[in-house]
Structure 1
Amino acid sequence: MANEINVPVDQPTITAAIAAANTYDTIRVAPGIYYETVVIDKIVQLLGAQAGVDATSRGAFAMESIIVSSDTTGSVQIQSDNVVFDGFTVEMNTQWAGIFAPTTVSGYSIQNNIIRNNVTGMYVHSNGEKMVQIRNNLLVDNSGFGNAIYSSLGASNLLIEANYFAGGHSEASINIGGDPGTANNNLTIARNRFFRDNSIALTSTTNVKLIGNTMQETQGSSVFFGGATNYTEIDGNVLEGGISSGIRVTTAFSGGVPNANIVAHDNSIQGNAVAGLNLDTGAYDAATPNLRLDATNNWWGSPTGPAPIGTGNSVIDPDGVTEYVPFLTSNPLPAPEVVRTTGPVLRTGTDAQSIYVSILNNDTNNQASIQILGFDLSDGSKVPYVHELFYLSPVTDTTRTYHVQFTSQYEFQFGMTGTLDVNIAVWGLDSSGKVISSIRLVAEEMTSIQMLTPGVP
């Protein structure tokens, strides 16, 4: 019969609890900081203080069980099949990964965790015998090596679903690769959110499904093929506003081995700086029995289709291996929301204070939906006191003023749908209406919010 072990009540450390546990036991870890390397070498459930609570939306004031280590293999090492790791924060590994799993294991679950400020977020693999699930995690600023989720030795039968990736990953948000012949098979990457982060990068993969992901303002190409991939489906994704291409097809990491059998349908591909779809010469093998690259029935940002036949995001295809007609004449997917925040702002002095907000919709074609949320942070909790929803026509501006004299610390969040081309500026005003110089924010100074505030409509 399985038992439950509580840390630190029953055992002083997580390591001691694992050593004392039997197969199938549950280990519950109280809030606090645990300076230890956690090696999970038996089938157990390891549950942090936030087990079962989605890490992408549980808010900044949640009580966390925090693991800090600088182990060169990983702060948390999954060395057994069927492990459950749920509800932790893993941070500040200055040597390597927050979470590591070798190629000898499978069936494990990593869910509801915050993984931040490590050299790499997760360095995970699987032998494919049982499904691995990576779900509802928040991955932020794992910047040393530049990958949020990384696999280079082989990962099969893997589900990466409903995670949030936000900034600081200079290589890729999800990087599945290895030399040609590496066993990266049967992968599903679905319903994840990426905001101002980086690519889903695939090299040496077979049978991959990218379904329903939202990738906005990607700091590279949203979907990047490094070569030697076969059978990839890209279906129902938002690939918008990136600094490079929506889909990029290369042989950059495969020694010249091309990709084959790519199908992309019902995606919203628009506003990318270089192209919607961009293929290198020789990067795609359409020779029989392979299929031509099927990019039909996508939205390219214009009812006239992609350039060169229309005015939408372009298709660059020097080898002529792509089919992109017919195309969609309207966007099949709802507009995603961008949320930016002032972060916590301290009141200055004892004067009554107001916040003056200026909002400009720069988009010449699309209406912007704006939701403003204001929070009182005075007592350490996050209490909403402003909630306003309104719409701005193309090339229109407006202003709002909110009084905050009752609070010593506050935060404003701005949610935008319909267009990304919105500028917001925030000024603090004292009781005489003069600008408080320490509280003056423009759009570039506001941070991309990493999690929404639970319990707020």
Structure 2
Amino acid sequence: MFAAPDPLVDSIIEATSPSGEGIVNLREDGIRFQGFTVQNNQGSALGGYGINTVVGHSGYLVTNNVIQGNPAGMYYNSSGATQSQVTRNCIRLNNTGFQVQPAAGNGIYSDQGLDNALIDNNAFFQNRNGAITLDKFQNIVRVDINHNVSHQDEALLNIFRSNDSVVADNQAVGNTGAAIFIGDDNHGLQVLRNTVQGSYDGIRAQTFSNVGSDQVLIGNNTVQNVTHDGISAGPNSLTGSTVSDNSVTGSGHDGVLIEDEGGNSGNVVTRNVLQGSVQYDCEDLTTGTGTAGTANTWTDNQAATSNPAALCPRGPP
């Protein structure tokens, strides 16, 4: 169990925001917020956050804080004029009003615009929707999500409608959903060198609006002992993308799976090492002029089982 903050030695900010904003609201350029415990905002029907940054400003630095027990930990928005950073925070158990209050269950949430931003070296624990959820009414652009650790959150990351962002060198353990969930309409997203252990899915692309993602690179990730699929693309969710140089071991369903709905085409799956999957190490359910009658190109993968059978010929042990 985590130790409770000590009011004799810790700087604690605890309040309820009836307007759905944060306990702490940062509304100027270049604000540095460091060294606090921000906790127990009960929120309202409009939601509520521990810390709120606004899209009209930038250059925020939020570092070395504990953010816990709020509907959502942080509402992270920025104009991008100067890079904003959220680094070295402990963000845990932000679930007040989960499934009732807007954005509840997220460690970090953004939907008003996030440009030129860094999320780095944070520790997340048991946020029931996701450690990080990035969506947009405005842009999600040039966001780097690096070196974070997620334990038992629903996901390390849910990302929607982003451009030119990077997810690299993170660790996800025991996520109850997909550790890295690539939702609708992402472009130029790079998912690199992440480690996933014991989650439900490893890396999953899926669209809810029939608008998939393109030019995604999923490379050099390690996925071990997930309940379902190691790396997968749901119907109509991924085109013109690359899945390369990943290691996937011990998946409860498939190692790499591309589902069929006519929209997953033009992808390259290459140089992956896939082993110990319960169903298939390689599976592609699309049809077309690609490898083994699929709509995609599969080359140089090491795998024992595949569907169609010629998709991934058995490689070296």
Say yes or no: TM over 0.5.
yes
Taking the TM superposition and a 5 Å limit, the aligned residue runs for 1:372-451 are none
Residue 248 (structure 1) shift: 1.2
Contact 1:226 1:251 in 2 (8 A): yes
Please, which of 208, 211, 218 is the counterpart of residue 257 of structure 1? 211
Question: Structure 2 CA distance, aligned partners of 1:278 and 1:186?
Answer: 24
Computing the radius of gyration over CA atoms, which structure comes out larger, 1 or 2? 1
Alignment match, 1:155: 114
Contact 2:109 2:132 in 1 (8 A): yes
Alignment match, 1:430: none
- The residue type equivalent to 1:165 in the other structure is F
Instruction: State yes or no: 1:176 paired with 2:134.
Output: yes
Instruction: State yes or no: 1:146 paired with 2:105.
Output: yes
Please, which of 6, 29, 32 is the counterpart of residue 84 of structure 1? 32
Instruction: State yes or no: 1:268 paired with 2:222.
Output: yes
Instruction: State yes or no: 1:164 paired with 2:123.
Output: yes
Alignment match, 1:234: 191
Question: Do the aligned partners of residues 67 and 321 (structure 1) sit closer, same or farther apart at CA in structure 2, a change above 3 Å counting?
Answer: same
Question: Structure 2 CA distance, aligned partners of 1:325 and 1:317?
Answer: 17
Alignment match, 1:104: 56
Alignment match, 2:73: 121
- The residue type equivalent to 1:121 in the other structure is G
TM-score by length of 1: 0.53
Contact 2:175 2:199 in 1 (8 A): yes
Residue 60 (structure 1) shift: 6.7
Question: Structure 1 CA distance, aligned partners of 2:243 and 2:256?
Answer: 12
1:246 partner SS? strand
**What do residues 328-375 of structure 1 show as CA deviations (whole Å, max 9, x unaligned)?**
479xxxxxxxxxxxxxxxxxxxxxxxxxxxxxxxxxxxxxxxxxxxxx
**What do residues 229-278 of structure 1 show as CA deviations (whole Å, max 9, x unaligned)?**
101111110022112x11111122xx322111110111101211110112
Question: Do the aligned partners of residues 270 and 324 (structure 1) sit closer, same or farther apart at CA in structure 2, a change above 3 Å counting?
Answer: farther
Question: Structure 2 CA distance, aligned partners of 1:326 and 1:84?
Answer: 44
Instruction: State yes or no: 1:315 paired with 2:260.
Output: no
Alignment match, 2:285: none
Contact 1:301 1:312 in 2 (8 A): no
Contact 1:146 1:172 in 2 (8 A): yes
Alignment match, 1:223: 180
- The residue type equivalent to 2:232 in the other structure is N
- The residue type equivalent to 2:206 in the other structure is T
Residue 327 (structure 1) shift: 1.5
Residue 315 (structure 1) shift: 2.3
Instruction: State yes or no: 1:326 paired with 2:276.
Output: no
Question: Structure 1 CA distance, aligned partners of 2:4 and 2:190?
Answer: 34
Question: Do the aligned partners of residues 160 and 176 (structure 1) sit closer, same or farther apart at CA in structure 2, a change above 3 Å counting?
Answer: same
Structure 2 gap ranges (5+): 97-103, 276-317
Alignment match, 1:67: 13
Please, which of 263, 279, 282 is the counterpart of residue 233 of structure 2? 279
TM-score by length of 2: 0.76
Question: Structure 1 CA distance, aligned partners of 2:35 and 2:164?
Answer: 30
Residue 58 (structure 1) shift: 11
Contact 1:185 1:206 in 2 (8 A): yes
Alignment match, 2:149: 193
Residue 73 (structure 1) shift: 1.2
Please, which of 42, 47, 54 is the counterpart of residue 94 of structure 1? 42
1:230 partner SS? coil
Question: Do the aligned partners of residues 266 and 60 (structure 1) sit closer, same or farther apart at CA in structure 2, a change above 3 Å counting?
Answer: farther
Count of equivalent residues: 256
Question: Structure 2 CA distance, aligned partners of 1:165 and 1:198?
Answer: 11
Runs of 4+ in 1 over 4 A off after TM superposition: 57-62
Question: Structure 1 CA distance, aligned partners of 2:4 and 2:105?
Answer: 25
**What do residues 70-98 of structure 1 show as CA deviations (whole Å, max 9, x unaligned)?**
11311000010000000000000000100
Alignment match, 2:85: 133
Contact 1:270 1:312 in 2 (8 A): no
Contact 1:250 1:258 in 2 (8 A): yes
Contact 1:90 1:113 in 2 (8 A): yes
Structure 1 gap ranges (5+): 1-56, 287-291, 331-457
Alignment match, 1:443: none
- The residue type equivalent to 1:301 in the other structure is T
**What do residues 290-343 of structure 1 show as CA deviations (whole Å, max 9, x unaligned)?**
xx32111010117xxx89xxx97342333355433212479xxxxxxxxxxxxx
